[in-house]
Chain A
């Protein structure tokens, strides 16, 4: 037994200093094991079979011939699958009905799961799955998304506004009205969704690739009508998620098959299956109207954003929300509309709403700056609100102007000639552009368990997830400072649902919410240790639950956001229409930065997504079949190394003394506004507006009426 002290001198100050990742050595040596990589004795392999028609009913599943194939153990389908519950409320609302695996014969889109073939080896399972004949009675389908098409409606709570639109428009000296579109986009994390499920002493154990081990465990318990503590989900390492890794059908299928077969079953999606089974960002069609005085002061901000969902579940891409905290206007109206189609259900994807919404609104702002003859930054500064434009509430902190100023200084914006289409570098036309970024700062209740060990170390247990964000490392630093010890004395254990309730990694609120729980528990533990005495062999453990504190913060009503400014320089090939980004700079106001090394990576990663969104990403749907064309990483191109120039990201001070944590989220703001900054730069280079993403060479050439600058 030893006496533990929590450090007598000054704060260790781990927060705010660069730390390489706690799990870095495991990741660079290949030792880090992801969900599909934990060995199990007697492991069986499941292979999902997806519908090939877009609408109809399953007439028959010819399981018998497949069951006779070598190694095949079972074929689960709607004719024989165990019951799965669907009538419950999850933390994000009712469940997507796709999770009720194999419960009926209806097919609502191409790529709907219709069977799971399980065999001794993955080769056998794959061959059998491909051999399985499923017959359908088909019905006509409709997958054609367009602005304002039939069926487009405005769900309750998706519109917000103030002021008389017609009057404000009439009073506007300058009006910009334009339509913008963004395509269907896919998360495409490098690690395919995979899970291994098995029963262990009356408990369903699932090793799964997800963003929230507790979140998935709770959902699996509800789906299979089990007690909450009869399901344990672990997700030690996750190979990217970006919103796509909530509870997904592979985990449900693995749990179902493990229950039926009484042995461990692994189900890993193929890359192609991920395109229909893991969500995506809806295409959007957005109309923006801006009205302003000659000096650019906004009288009208009118943003209408249309998106699609499936016929089985309503998920909205809330693009029009983006402008609500950003600019004031006499008439300020934003509305999100949605149409159900015979397509898979979209979902949260990095900066849901803000990513496509910022493309439209920040492009329109640039068009207004051009019309008014006002510098794009000056225009934005002129329209900075003092309080929330719609709420009238104060901002908890708002350092957007500082982001503009620091970005402009470092990017060399002051020397910019605003005229478009006048800079040449050989065959390249050059231009620069900028845009604003914002994303809500959210918090959610979480619990943490912190133990002072007898050997002088501390163990932190929290059902947090590190999907590549660096959360494990950031939380280690937070815990070290909260306990006033060096990070080396912290053992950070995460991603195990048995550690207690915690918010999943999403909405840029993970690290903030988890840190809050850890700080709370650590504070109480320090008080206990300060009483003196020895630490017993089993240690001293304190549990925290931030439910009440999070609720109390919500009572102090404020507008809570992160902000940023995005800058880009592009070169446009005058003969091919190819756009190359030459440099990008992002300056963010995002609270206290815990780990500058990994935070910079996250900001730059988001900006890389913005580049990819601006120039490359586009999932194409075939109207005739209702399915994708080229649903793979060749057909769906996201930015490769050669597409990405040197990118810099940095931040300004963004203190919020009244906030109990001080940490804001940084996972999403990096993508916000980045595509608009690039589109605005393309206009500056060529003189032609690009209102449809991605900015493909054909679009650049068409906009120029042949060849840009020719």
Chain B
């Protein structure tokens, strides 16, 4: 008897349940884009190198191209379509819009999902490679520009919008951008 190559699964996406049969090879990214018409999540490389497909899986950022749809069953999936509060944009979305933290917009949903998680990771005291003192303490070190750059480096942007992205993430986090060399004397 041939082994089954597909399964009926239920995905919990942006608070809604979606039942669908999927080919076992289908990635979460392709399930979102090609099966559920949730095309806000982008495919940039399909091999985990660019971050364009970043979604939140149980609140943590994940590249959905390296996640099989069948393995995402039972988990809370948040995509770019689900980060706003109804008509009210998420502060990260608003900051990207106001500060022009994008150009072509293709990496933007992944950048925004990533930034939402970055702000939470930082607030929870998670260190990064840019954190000078990684010992746990009562004070969370400031979210400097250097910290944002390091933490956002899993999301490539070919238009070169990083300067505005850093400013947008800082504004959304309510952080003063500090630790940045001034360009002009």
Question: Residues of A at under 8 Å CB distance from B?
Answer: 20-21, 23-34, 36-37, 39, 121-123, 127, 187-192, 237-242, 268, 270-271, 410-412, 415, 467-470, 569, 582-585, 597-598, 600-602, 604-609, 612, 632-634, 638-642, 644-648
Contacts and interface: CB of A to CB of B under 8 A. Distances in A.
Interface stretch (B39-47, B119-127, B135-143): B39-47
A582 B181 contact: yes
Interface in B122-162: 130, 145, 148-150, 152-153, 155-162
A641 B103 contact: no
Contacts of A191: 42, 44, 104, 106
Contact of B96 (A28, A122, A584, A639): A28
Which one of B41, B155, B163 has the highest number of Cβ atoms from chain A below 10 Å of its Cβ?
B163
Given A239-B104, A604-B163, A609-B160, A190 B40 contact: no
Given A27-B102, A604-B160, A638-B158, A33 B39 contact: yes
Contacts of A268: 43
Given A30-B39, A271-B46, A639-B162, A190 B52 contact: yes
Given A30-B41, A188-B158, A640-B153, A646 B182 contact: yes
A32 B70 CA distance: 27
B183 A584 contact: yes
Interface string B70-84: 000000000111001
A683 B150 CA distance: 27
A666 B155 CA distance: 25
Interface string B23-50: 1011000100110011111111111011
Nearest to A71: B23
B25 A645 contact: no
6 contacts: A20-B100, A34-B39, A39-B37, A411-B183, A583-B183, A639-B160
Which one of A28, A602, A608 has the highest number of Cβ atoms from chain B below 10 Å of its Cβ?
A28
B78 to A, nearest CB: 12
A122 B105 contact: no
Contacts of B47: 271, 632-633
B102 A271 contact: no
A29 B184 contact: no
Given A601-B161, A602-B103, A634-B49, A30 B40 contact: yes
Nearest to B185: A412
A431 to B, nearest CB: 14
A271 B106 CA distance: 14
Nearest to B106: A239
Given A24-B97, A191-B106, A270-B46, A240 B158 contact: yes
A470 B25 contact: no
Contacts of B152: 641-642
A608 B80 contact: no
A397 to B, nearest CB: 25
A602 B104 CA distance: 11
Nearest to A467: B104
Contacts of B67: none
B137 to A, nearest CB: 24
Which one of A240, A598, A602 has the highest number of Cβ atoms from chain B below 10 Å of its Cβ?
A240
Contacts of A600: 100
Nearest to A121: B23
Contacts of B104: 189-191, 237-241, 467-468
A597 B94 CA distance: 15
Contact of A192 (B40, B44, B145, B160): B44
B50 A641 contact: no
A242 B150 CA distance: 26
A311 to B, nearest CB: 29
Given A601-B164, A639-B162, A641-B162, A20 B153 contact: no
Nearest to B98: A20
Given A271-B49, A468-B106, A641-B149, 12 more contacts: A20-B97, A27-B105, A28-B96, A29-B81, A468-B105, A583-B181, A585-B183, A597-B100, A605-B160, A632-B45, A638-B158, A646-B182
B160 to A, nearest CB: 3
Which one of B46, B104, B148 has the highest number of Cβ atoms from chain A below 10 Å of its Cβ?
B104
Contacts of B40: 29-31
Given A29-B89, A30-B79, A240 B26 contact: no
A530 B130 CA distance: 62
Contact of A29 (B52, B80, B162): B80
The list of the 6 closest CB pairs from A to B, nearest first, reads: A30-B40, A468-B104, A239-B106, A412-B185, A608-B160, A27-B105
Contact of A644 (B43, B162, B184): B162
B4 to A, nearest CB: 13
Given A583-B182, A608-B162, A468 B103 contact: yes
B183 A605 contact: no
A239 B42 CA distance: 10
Interface residues of B, number: 65
A642 B152 CA distance: 8
B80 A30 contact: yes
Contact of B49 (A29, A237, A632): A632
Which one of B46, B96, B150, B184 has the highest number of Cβ atoms from chain A below 10 Å of its Cβ?
B184
Given A27-B108, A240-B158, A646-B182, A271 B45 contact: yes
Contacts of A123: 23, 25-26, 30
Given A240-B159, A412-B184, A605 B43 contact: no
A411 B150 contact: no
Contacts of A469: 103
A348 B62 CA distance: 35
Contacts of A242: 158
A585 to B, nearest CB: 5
B156 A633 contact: yes
A605 B159 contact: yes
A33 B150 CA distance: 29
A632 to B, nearest CB: 6
Contacts of A23: 105
Which one of B84, B97, B100, B184 has the highest number of Cβ atoms from chain A below 10 Å of its Cβ?
B100
B49 A633 contact: yes
A34 B103 contact: no
Nearest to A599: B100
Contacts of B84: 29
Contacts of A646: 145, 163, 180-183
Contacts of A31: 40, 81
A28 B93 contact: yes
A26 B96 CA distance: 12
B11 interface: no
Nearest to B80: A30
A420 B86 CA distance: 57
Given A121-B23, A605-B103, A605-B161, A642 B153 contact: yes
B39 A642 contact: no
Contacts of A597: 100
Which one of A24, A612, A641 has the highest number of Cβ atoms from chain B below 10 Å of its Cβ?
A641
B105 A237 contact: yes
Given A191-B44, A240-B104, A240-B106, A411 B81 contact: no
A582 B25 CA distance: 44
A607 B160 contact: yes
B77 to A, nearest CB: 14
B112 interface: yes
Interface string B107-121: 111001000000000
B100 A21 contact: yes
A412 B42 CA distance: 42
B173 interface: no
Given A123-B23, A641-B149, A633 B50 contact: yes
A468 B130 CA distance: 30
